[in-house]
Amino acid sequence: MMTRKMIGDLAKRSLYPSLWNLFKKNRLPINTRIIGYARGHSSVDEIRGNVEGFVKIAPEEAELYDEFWSKQTYVSASNSDELGYRGIDAACDKFETERHYRRADRVFYMSLPPKFFASAATNIKRYAMPKRPGQVRIAVEKPFGSDSETSAALAKHLDSLFKPEQIFIMDHFLGYDMVQNLVTLRFENHLFDPVWNRDNIEAVSVLFEEAFGIEGRGAFFDANGIIRDVVQNHLLQLVALLAMERPVTGNIREAKVELLKAMRPVEANDTVLGQYLGDPEAKDPKKRVGYREDPTVKNKESMTPTFASTVLKIDNDRWAGVPFIVRAGKALGRTQTTLKIQFKDEDPAKRDELEIKLKGETISMNLNSKIPGILNESEKVKLNFVYADHYKNVTIPRAYERLFYEIINDEQQNFVKEQELVEAWRIFTPVLRDVDNGKNELYFYKSVSSLRSYFM
Protein backbone atom coordinates (compact mmCIF):
# COMPACT_ATOMS: atom_id res chain seq x y z
CA MET A 1 0.00 0.00 0.00
CA MET A 2 1.41 3.34 -1.01
CA THR A 3 -0.06 6.44 0.60
CA ARG A 4 1.20 9.80 1.78
CA LYS A 5 0.87 8.84 5.44
CA MET A 6 0.55 5.31 6.77
CA ILE A 7 -0.62 6.87 10.05
CA GLY A 8 -3.03 9.27 8.28
CA ASP A 9 -6.84 9.25 8.44
CA LEU A 10 -7.40 7.07 5.38
CA ALA A 11 -5.01 4.38 6.56
CA LYS A 12 -6.17 4.20 10.18
CA ARG A 13 -9.91 4.71 9.58
CA SER A 14 -10.41 2.67 6.41
CA LEU A 15 -7.47 0.75 4.92
CA TYR A 16 -6.15 -1.24 7.88
CA PRO A 17 -9.57 -1.87 9.50
CA SER A 18 -10.79 -3.22 6.14
CA LEU A 19 -7.76 -5.49 5.76
CA TRP A 20 -8.23 -6.70 9.35
CA ASN A 21 -11.87 -7.57 8.62
CA LEU A 22 -10.85 -9.53 5.53
CA PHE A 23 -8.10 -11.31 7.45
CA LYS A 24 -10.26 -12.42 10.36
CA LYS A 25 -12.97 -13.62 7.94
CA ASN A 26 -10.37 -15.68 6.00
CA ARG A 27 -10.95 -13.62 2.86
CA LEU A 28 -7.30 -12.79 2.26
CA PRO A 29 -5.07 -15.39 0.60
CA ILE A 30 -3.45 -17.42 3.35
CA ASN A 31 0.11 -16.28 2.53
CA THR A 32 -0.67 -12.57 2.21
CA ARG A 33 2.03 -10.06 3.16
CA ILE A 34 1.05 -6.39 3.60
CA ILE A 35 3.76 -3.79 2.93
CA GLY A 36 3.10 -0.18 3.85
CA TYR A 37 5.03 2.43 1.87
CA ALA A 38 5.09 6.14 2.61
CA ARG A 39 7.55 9.00 2.76
CA GLY A 40 7.28 9.50 6.53
CA HIS A 41 9.48 7.64 9.01
CA SER A 42 7.32 5.19 10.89
CA SER A 43 7.16 1.56 11.99
CA VAL A 44 4.67 -1.26 12.09
CA ASP A 45 4.27 -0.75 15.83
CA GLU A 46 3.48 2.96 15.37
CA ILE A 47 0.95 2.20 12.63
CA ARG A 48 -0.67 -0.44 14.84
CA GLY A 49 -0.94 2.01 17.70
CA ASN A 50 -2.70 4.54 15.47
CA VAL A 51 -5.11 1.97 14.05
CA GLU A 52 -6.25 0.32 17.28
CA GLY A 53 -8.80 3.02 18.11
CA PHE A 54 -10.58 2.31 14.82
CA VAL A 55 -10.91 -1.49 14.86
CA LYS A 56 -13.11 -3.81 16.87
CA ILE A 57 -11.22 -6.66 18.53
CA ALA A 58 -13.14 -9.22 20.54
CA PRO A 59 -11.24 -10.74 23.51
CA GLU A 60 -11.02 -14.07 21.72
CA GLU A 61 -9.47 -12.32 18.67
CA ALA A 62 -6.41 -10.92 20.46
CA GLU A 63 -4.07 -13.66 19.27
CA LEU A 64 -5.44 -13.45 15.74
CA TYR A 65 -4.93 -9.67 15.78
CA ASP A 66 -1.28 -10.17 16.73
CA GLU A 67 -0.96 -12.60 13.81
CA PHE A 68 -2.46 -9.97 11.48
CA TRP A 69 0.23 -7.46 12.44
CA SER A 70 2.95 -10.08 12.12
CA LYS A 71 2.19 -10.05 8.39
CA GLN A 72 3.08 -6.35 8.08
CA THR A 73 6.22 -4.64 6.81
CA TYR A 74 6.92 -0.93 6.42
CA VAL A 75 9.16 0.78 3.86
CA SER A 76 9.91 4.50 4.17
CA ALA A 77 10.95 6.51 1.11
CA SER A 78 9.70 9.31 -1.12
CA ASN A 79 7.15 8.60 -3.83
CA SER A 80 9.75 9.09 -6.59
CA ASP A 81 12.70 7.35 -4.91
CA GLU A 82 14.08 4.43 -6.93
CA LEU A 83 15.57 2.90 -3.76
CA GLY A 84 12.15 2.87 -2.13
CA TYR A 85 10.65 0.75 -4.89
CA ARG A 86 13.66 -1.53 -4.83
CA GLY A 87 12.96 -1.80 -1.09
CA ILE A 88 9.38 -2.89 -1.79
CA ASP A 89 10.65 -5.48 -4.23
CA ALA A 90 13.28 -6.72 -1.77
CA ALA A 91 10.66 -7.09 0.99
CA CYS A 92 8.37 -9.04 -1.35
CA ASP A 93 11.18 -11.16 -2.76
CA LYS A 94 12.50 -12.04 0.71
CA PHE A 95 9.06 -13.20 1.81
CA GLU A 96 8.50 -15.19 -1.40
CA THR A 97 11.97 -16.81 -1.28
CA GLU A 98 11.72 -17.82 2.38
CA ARG A 99 8.49 -19.66 1.63
CA HIS A 100 9.75 -21.18 -1.63
CA TYR A 101 6.89 -19.72 -3.66
CA ARG A 102 6.70 -20.75 -7.29
CA ARG A 103 4.05 -18.11 -7.93
CA ALA A 104 3.69 -14.58 -6.51
CA ASP A 105 0.81 -12.18 -7.10
CA ARG A 106 1.33 -8.53 -6.19
CA VAL A 107 -1.28 -5.82 -5.67
CA PHE A 108 -0.04 -2.21 -5.61
CA TYR A 109 -2.55 0.17 -4.02
CA MET A 110 -1.76 3.86 -4.58
CA SER A 111 -3.35 6.72 -2.67
CA LEU A 112 -1.11 9.54 -3.81
CA PRO A 113 -1.41 13.10 -5.13
CA PRO A 114 -1.98 12.91 -8.92
CA LYS A 115 1.44 14.43 -9.67
CA PHE A 116 3.11 11.30 -8.25
CA PHE A 117 0.98 8.65 -10.01
CA ALA A 118 2.99 8.52 -13.23
CA SER A 119 6.41 8.21 -11.56
CA ALA A 120 5.08 5.69 -9.02
CA ALA A 121 3.63 3.50 -11.79
CA THR A 122 6.89 3.73 -13.76
CA ASN A 123 8.97 2.77 -10.73
CA ILE A 124 6.70 -0.18 -9.96
CA LYS A 125 7.14 -1.43 -13.52
CA ARG A 126 10.91 -0.95 -13.44
CA TYR A 127 11.82 -2.09 -9.95
CA ALA A 128 9.00 -3.92 -8.16
CA MET A 129 7.61 -6.53 -10.53
CA PRO A 130 7.69 -10.16 -9.29
CA LYS A 131 10.50 -12.43 -10.48
CA ARG A 132 8.18 -15.43 -10.36
CA PRO A 133 5.06 -16.10 -12.42
CA GLY A 134 2.03 -14.27 -11.03
CA GLN A 135 -0.49 -11.50 -11.55
CA VAL A 136 0.16 -7.82 -10.90
CA ARG A 137 -2.70 -5.43 -10.20
CA ILE A 138 -2.52 -1.64 -9.87
CA ALA A 139 -5.21 0.03 -7.75
CA VAL A 140 -5.37 3.81 -8.08
CA GLU A 141 -7.34 6.12 -5.78
CA LYS A 142 -8.97 9.37 -6.85
CA PRO A 143 -8.31 12.08 -7.77
CA PHE A 144 -7.30 10.64 -11.15
CA GLY A 145 -5.92 13.82 -12.71
CA SER A 146 -7.27 17.33 -12.24
CA ASP A 147 -8.98 17.92 -15.61
CA SER A 148 -9.50 16.26 -19.00
CA GLU A 149 -5.91 16.75 -20.15
CA THR A 150 -4.12 15.53 -17.02
CA SER A 151 -6.48 12.56 -16.63
CA ALA A 152 -5.98 11.53 -20.26
CA ALA A 153 -2.19 11.81 -19.93
CA LEU A 154 -2.20 9.68 -16.79
CA ALA A 155 -4.47 7.05 -18.37
CA LYS A 156 -2.21 6.90 -21.42
CA HIS A 157 0.83 6.46 -19.21
CA LEU A 158 -0.75 3.64 -17.17
CA ASP A 159 -1.91 1.94 -20.37
CA SER A 160 1.67 1.99 -21.66
CA LEU A 161 2.83 0.07 -18.59
CA PHE A 162 -0.03 -2.27 -17.70
CA LYS A 163 -2.90 -4.09 -19.36
CA PRO A 164 -6.50 -2.86 -18.82
CA GLU A 165 -7.34 -5.93 -16.76
CA GLN A 166 -4.48 -5.03 -14.38
CA ILE A 167 -5.71 -1.49 -13.64
CA PHE A 168 -8.33 -0.88 -10.92
CA ILE A 169 -9.44 2.76 -10.66
CA MET A 170 -11.11 3.13 -7.29
CA ASP A 171 -14.06 5.17 -6.15
CA HIS A 172 -14.81 3.95 -2.64
CA PHE A 173 -18.48 5.02 -2.90
CA LEU A 174 -18.94 2.07 -5.27
CA GLY A 175 -18.04 -0.24 -2.38
CA TYR A 176 -20.88 0.94 -0.12
CA ASP A 177 -23.57 -1.68 0.33
CA MET A 178 -26.40 0.81 -0.17
CA VAL A 179 -24.81 2.00 -3.42
CA GLN A 180 -24.66 -1.61 -4.56
CA ASN A 181 -28.36 -1.82 -3.74
CA LEU A 182 -29.29 0.97 -6.18
CA VAL A 183 -29.10 -1.42 -9.12
CA THR A 184 -31.22 -4.03 -7.32
CA LEU A 185 -33.74 -1.43 -6.22
CA ARG A 186 -34.17 -0.07 -9.72
CA PHE A 187 -34.23 -3.19 -11.84
CA GLU A 188 -35.62 -5.90 -9.57
CA ASN A 189 -38.75 -4.04 -8.43
CA HIS A 190 -41.54 -3.74 -10.97
CA LEU A 191 -42.92 -0.85 -8.93
CA PHE A 192 -40.06 1.43 -10.02
CA ASP A 193 -38.86 0.22 -13.41
CA PRO A 194 -41.87 1.40 -15.50
CA VAL A 195 -42.00 4.87 -13.92
CA TRP A 196 -38.26 5.60 -13.89
CA ASN A 197 -38.36 8.25 -16.64
CA ARG A 198 -39.15 11.85 -17.53
CA ASP A 199 -42.89 11.18 -17.81
CA ASN A 200 -43.13 10.34 -14.13
CA ILE A 201 -40.15 11.94 -12.37
CA GLU A 202 -39.99 15.68 -11.70
CA ALA A 203 -36.42 15.89 -10.40
CA VAL A 204 -33.57 13.88 -8.90
CA SER A 205 -31.25 15.26 -6.24
CA VAL A 206 -28.04 14.01 -4.66
CA LEU A 207 -26.94 15.82 -1.51
CA PHE A 208 -23.57 15.23 0.18
CA GLU A 209 -23.16 16.84 3.60
CA GLU A 210 -20.21 16.79 5.98
CA ALA A 211 -20.50 18.16 9.50
CA PHE A 212 -16.82 19.05 9.69
CA GLY A 213 -14.52 21.32 7.71
CA ILE A 214 -11.18 20.40 6.18
CA GLU A 215 -9.46 20.03 9.59
CA GLY A 216 -5.83 19.78 8.51
CA ARG A 217 -6.34 18.77 4.88
CA GLY A 218 -5.75 22.27 3.57
CA ALA A 219 -2.78 21.45 1.33
CA PHE A 220 -4.78 18.86 -0.59
CA PHE A 221 -8.16 20.55 -0.49
CA ASP A 222 -7.03 24.04 -1.49
CA ALA A 223 -5.49 22.61 -4.66
CA ASN A 224 -8.69 20.73 -5.56
CA GLY A 225 -11.88 22.11 -4.03
CA ILE A 226 -15.20 20.43 -3.40
CA ILE A 227 -16.01 19.63 -7.06
CA ARG A 228 -12.82 17.65 -7.64
CA ASP A 229 -12.98 16.17 -4.15
CA VAL A 230 -16.46 14.62 -4.28
CA VAL A 231 -18.74 15.90 -7.06
CA GLN A 232 -16.85 14.90 -10.22
CA ASN A 233 -16.30 11.39 -8.90
CA HIS A 234 -18.43 10.10 -5.98
CA LEU A 235 -21.64 11.99 -6.70
CA LEU A 236 -21.44 11.62 -10.46
CA GLN A 237 -21.15 7.85 -9.96
CA LEU A 238 -24.37 7.93 -7.90
CA VAL A 239 -26.15 9.89 -10.65
CA ALA A 240 -24.93 7.41 -13.27
CA LEU A 241 -26.30 4.45 -11.29
CA LEU A 242 -29.63 6.21 -10.81
CA ALA A 243 -29.99 7.24 -14.45
CA MET A 244 -28.33 4.51 -16.58
CA GLU A 245 -30.27 2.09 -18.74
CA ARG A 246 -30.66 -1.53 -17.69
CA PRO A 247 -27.19 -3.06 -18.14
CA VAL A 248 -26.87 -5.50 -21.04
CA THR A 249 -25.55 -8.86 -19.79
CA GLY A 250 -24.97 -7.22 -16.41
CA ASN A 251 -22.25 -4.86 -17.66
CA ILE A 252 -22.85 -1.91 -15.32
CA ARG A 253 -19.69 -0.05 -16.35
CA GLU A 254 -20.73 0.11 -20.01
CA ALA A 255 -24.21 1.28 -19.02
CA LYS A 256 -22.69 4.11 -16.99
CA VAL A 257 -20.45 5.15 -19.88
CA GLU A 258 -23.42 5.42 -22.25
CA LEU A 259 -25.33 7.51 -19.71
CA LEU A 260 -22.39 9.88 -19.15
CA LYS A 261 -21.99 10.35 -22.90
CA ALA A 262 -25.53 11.79 -22.97
CA MET A 263 -24.79 14.32 -20.21
CA ARG A 264 -24.07 17.94 -21.08
CA PRO A 265 -21.03 19.77 -19.71
CA VAL A 266 -21.89 21.62 -16.51
CA GLU A 267 -22.75 25.28 -17.07
CA ALA A 268 -21.47 28.09 -14.87
CA ASN A 269 -24.96 29.63 -14.75
CA ASP A 270 -26.29 26.43 -13.16
CA THR A 271 -23.58 26.34 -10.51
CA VAL A 272 -23.46 28.01 -7.08
CA LEU A 273 -20.24 27.96 -5.03
CA GLY A 274 -19.65 28.66 -1.37
CA GLN A 275 -16.96 28.69 1.30
CA TYR A 276 -17.58 28.21 5.01
CA LEU A 277 -16.80 30.85 7.59
CA GLY A 278 -16.00 30.36 11.24
CA ASP A 279 -18.91 30.81 13.64
CA PRO A 280 -17.59 32.78 16.66
CA GLU A 281 -20.64 31.76 18.72
CA ALA A 282 -20.26 28.00 18.12
CA LYS A 283 -19.78 25.81 21.20
CA ASP A 284 -17.44 23.48 19.31
CA PRO A 285 -14.03 25.22 18.95
CA LYS A 286 -13.53 23.57 15.54
CA LYS A 287 -16.62 25.31 14.18
CA ARG A 288 -15.20 28.69 15.09
CA VAL A 289 -12.43 28.18 12.52
CA GLY A 290 -13.30 29.29 8.99
CA TYR A 291 -11.78 27.72 5.90
CA ARG A 292 -9.18 30.44 5.42
CA GLU A 293 -8.31 30.35 9.11
CA ASP A 294 -7.29 26.69 9.01
CA PRO A 295 -3.50 26.66 9.53
CA THR A 296 -3.01 24.20 6.65
CA VAL A 297 -4.59 26.63 4.15
CA LYS A 298 -1.59 28.75 3.17
CA ASN A 299 -3.49 31.21 0.96
CA LYS A 300 -5.46 33.35 3.39
CA GLU A 301 -7.42 34.87 0.51
CA SER A 302 -8.25 31.49 -1.02
CA MET A 303 -11.33 31.35 -3.26
CA THR A 304 -11.47 27.54 -3.20
CA PRO A 305 -15.10 26.39 -2.83
CA THR A 306 -16.08 24.13 0.06
CA PHE A 307 -19.68 24.00 -1.20
CA ALA A 308 -21.06 23.48 -4.71
CA SER A 309 -24.53 23.09 -6.13
CA THR A 310 -25.06 22.35 -9.80
CA VAL A 311 -27.59 20.88 -12.22
CA LEU A 312 -26.73 17.95 -14.48
CA LYS A 313 -28.71 17.64 -17.71
CA ILE A 314 -29.08 14.43 -19.69
CA ASP A 315 -30.02 14.50 -23.37
CA ASN A 316 -31.69 11.14 -23.99
CA ASP A 317 -35.23 9.81 -24.36
CA ARG A 318 -35.51 8.74 -20.75
CA TRP A 319 -34.32 11.91 -19.00
CA ALA A 320 -34.64 14.93 -21.33
CA GLY A 321 -35.89 17.86 -19.25
CA VAL A 322 -35.36 16.23 -15.82
CA PRO A 323 -32.88 18.16 -13.63
CA PHE A 324 -30.36 16.14 -11.64
CA ILE A 325 -29.44 18.48 -8.79
CA VAL A 326 -26.12 17.75 -7.12
CA ARG A 327 -25.00 19.53 -3.96
CA ALA A 328 -21.97 18.94 -1.77
CA GLY A 329 -20.48 20.83 1.11
CA LYS A 330 -18.37 20.85 4.24
CA ALA A 331 -19.22 22.32 7.65
CA LEU A 332 -22.93 21.73 7.11
CA GLY A 333 -23.84 20.53 10.58
CA ARG A 334 -24.30 16.83 9.83
CA THR A 335 -22.74 14.04 7.81
CA GLN A 336 -25.00 12.28 5.34
CA THR A 337 -25.42 11.48 1.65
CA THR A 338 -29.04 11.59 0.50
CA LEU A 339 -30.54 10.59 -2.85
CA LYS A 340 -34.04 11.84 -3.51
CA ILE A 341 -36.35 11.04 -6.43
CA GLN A 342 -39.38 13.32 -6.71
CA PHE A 343 -42.30 11.95 -8.72
CA LYS A 344 -44.65 14.20 -10.66
CA ASP A 345 -47.99 15.44 -9.32
CA GLU A 346 -50.23 18.34 -10.29
CA ASP A 347 -50.00 19.44 -6.67
CA PRO A 348 -46.30 19.78 -5.73
CA ALA A 349 -47.20 19.33 -2.06
CA LYS A 350 -48.49 15.84 -2.83
CA ARG A 351 -45.50 14.56 -4.76
CA ASP A 352 -44.43 11.04 -3.87
CA GLU A 353 -40.73 10.85 -2.97
CA LEU A 354 -38.23 8.03 -2.77
CA GLU A 355 -35.36 8.87 -0.40
CA ILE A 356 -32.17 6.85 0.08
CA LYS A 357 -29.62 7.63 2.80
CA LEU A 358 -26.16 6.07 2.63
CA LYS A 359 -25.27 6.64 6.28
CA GLY A 360 -27.51 4.45 8.37
CA GLU A 361 -28.57 2.58 5.20
CA THR A 362 -32.18 3.76 4.95
CA ILE A 363 -34.74 3.63 2.12
CA SER A 364 -37.89 5.73 2.62
CA MET A 365 -40.98 6.34 0.51
CA ASN A 366 -43.10 9.41 1.19
CA LEU A 367 -46.67 8.67 0.11
CA ASN A 368 -50.12 10.23 0.45
CA SER A 369 -52.46 8.55 2.92
CA LYS A 370 -55.98 9.38 4.11
CA ILE A 371 -56.22 10.91 7.57
CA PRO A 372 -58.54 8.79 9.75
CA GLY A 373 -61.94 10.39 10.17
CA ILE A 374 -65.12 11.41 8.35
CA LEU A 375 -63.49 14.06 6.17
CA ASN A 376 -61.67 12.95 3.02
CA GLU A 377 -58.32 14.56 3.83
CA SER A 378 -54.84 13.23 3.15
CA GLU A 379 -51.35 13.74 4.49
CA LYS A 380 -47.81 12.66 3.74
CA VAL A 381 -46.66 9.47 5.49
CA LYS A 382 -43.27 7.78 5.39
CA LEU A 383 -42.62 4.11 4.77
CA ASN A 384 -39.19 3.40 6.23
CA PHE A 385 -36.79 0.50 5.62
CA VAL A 386 -33.68 0.55 7.81
CA TYR A 387 -30.92 -2.01 7.24
CA ALA A 388 -30.05 -2.24 10.93
CA ASP A 389 -33.64 -3.05 11.90
CA HIS A 390 -34.09 -5.75 9.27
CA TYR A 391 -30.62 -7.29 9.18
CA LYS A 392 -30.02 -7.42 12.93
CA ASN A 393 -27.27 -10.06 12.93
CA VAL A 394 -25.55 -9.06 9.69
CA THR A 395 -22.31 -7.07 9.61
CA ILE A 396 -22.28 -4.77 6.61
CA PRO A 397 -18.82 -4.80 4.96
CA ARG A 398 -16.81 -1.63 4.77
CA ALA A 399 -16.44 -0.07 1.32
CA TYR A 400 -12.70 -0.78 1.17
CA GLU A 401 -13.24 -4.27 2.52
CA ARG A 402 -15.39 -5.09 -0.50
CA LEU A 403 -13.11 -3.34 -2.98
CA PHE A 404 -9.89 -4.94 -1.71
CA TYR A 405 -11.58 -8.34 -1.85
CA GLU A 406 -12.65 -7.70 -5.45
CA ILE A 407 -9.17 -6.55 -6.50
CA ILE A 408 -7.68 -9.76 -5.11
CA ASN A 409 -10.31 -11.77 -6.99
CA ASP A 410 -9.97 -9.86 -10.29
CA GLU A 411 -13.50 -8.44 -10.23
CA GLN A 412 -13.62 -5.03 -11.96
CA GLN A 413 -17.38 -4.35 -12.01
CA ASN A 414 -17.24 -1.94 -9.07
CA PHE A 415 -14.26 0.00 -10.36
CA VAL A 416 -14.24 2.97 -12.71
CA LYS A 417 -13.69 2.34 -16.39
CA GLU A 418 -11.24 4.70 -18.11
CA GLN A 419 -13.98 5.85 -20.50
CA GLU A 420 -16.05 6.90 -17.47
CA LEU A 421 -13.17 9.17 -16.46
CA VAL A 422 -13.01 10.66 -19.95
CA GLU A 423 -16.70 11.56 -19.81
CA ALA A 424 -16.62 12.73 -16.19
CA TRP A 425 -13.83 15.21 -16.91
CA ARG A 426 -15.54 16.31 -20.14
CA ILE A 427 -18.61 17.18 -18.08
CA PHE A 428 -16.78 19.12 -15.35
CA THR A 429 -13.58 20.54 -16.87
CA PRO A 430 -15.23 23.69 -18.37
CA VAL A 431 -16.78 24.80 -15.07
CA LEU A 432 -13.60 23.85 -13.17
CA ARG A 433 -11.59 26.14 -15.40
CA ASP A 434 -13.98 28.98 -14.56
CA VAL A 435 -13.65 28.15 -10.86
CA ASP A 436 -9.84 27.99 -11.06
CA ASN A 437 -9.80 31.38 -12.79
CA GLY A 438 -12.10 32.95 -10.20
CA LYS A 439 -14.96 33.59 -12.63
CA ASN A 440 -17.68 32.23 -10.35
CA GLU A 441 -19.02 34.30 -7.46
CA LEU A 442 -18.32 32.75 -4.07
CA TYR A 443 -21.04 32.73 -1.40
CA PHE A 444 -19.82 32.68 2.20
CA TYR A 445 -21.78 30.70 4.79
CA LYS A 446 -21.59 29.99 8.51
CA SER A 447 -24.07 27.15 8.71
CA VAL A 448 -26.46 24.94 6.79
CA SER A 449 -29.32 27.23 7.81
CA SER A 450 -27.73 30.18 6.03
CA LEU A 451 -27.34 28.07 2.91
CA ARG A 452 -30.94 26.92 3.05
CA SER A 453 -32.17 30.50 3.35
CA TYR A 454 -29.99 31.40 0.37
CA PHE A 455 -31.51 28.68 -1.81
CA MET A 456 -35.04 29.52 -0.70
Catalytic residues: 234
**What backbone phi and psi angles, to 5 degrees, belong to 443?**
-100, 130
Residue 242 CB partners (closer than 8 Å, separation 6+): 182, 186, 204, 206, 324, 339, 341
Angstrom CA distances, 319 to 240, 243, 257, 325, 338, stand at 12, 8, 15, 13, 20
- How far is residue 326 CA from its own chain's centroid? 15
Whether the CB-CB separation of 432 and 147 falls below 8 Å is answered with yes
Whether the CB-CB separation of 224 and 302 falls below 8 Å is answered with no
| Cis amide prior to 113 (ω within 30 degrees) | no
Dihedral sign from CA coordinates of 388, 392, 398, 399: negative
Element (H, E) at 451: helix 448-455
SS3 content of the chain, % helix, strand, coil (to 5): 45, 20, 40
Strands 136-140 and 167-169: parallel
Whether the CB-CB separation of 329 and 306 falls below 8 Å is answered with yes
DSSP 366: E
The neighbour count for residue 216, using CB atoms within 10 Å, is 14
Please give the torsion angle defined by the CA atoms of residues 280, 281, 285 and 287, in that order, rounded to the nearest 10 degrees.
Answer: -70
Query: Which of helix, strand or coil describes residue 335?
Result: coil
Residue 256 CB partners (closer than 8 Å, separation 6+): 237, 240, 241, 244, 417, 420
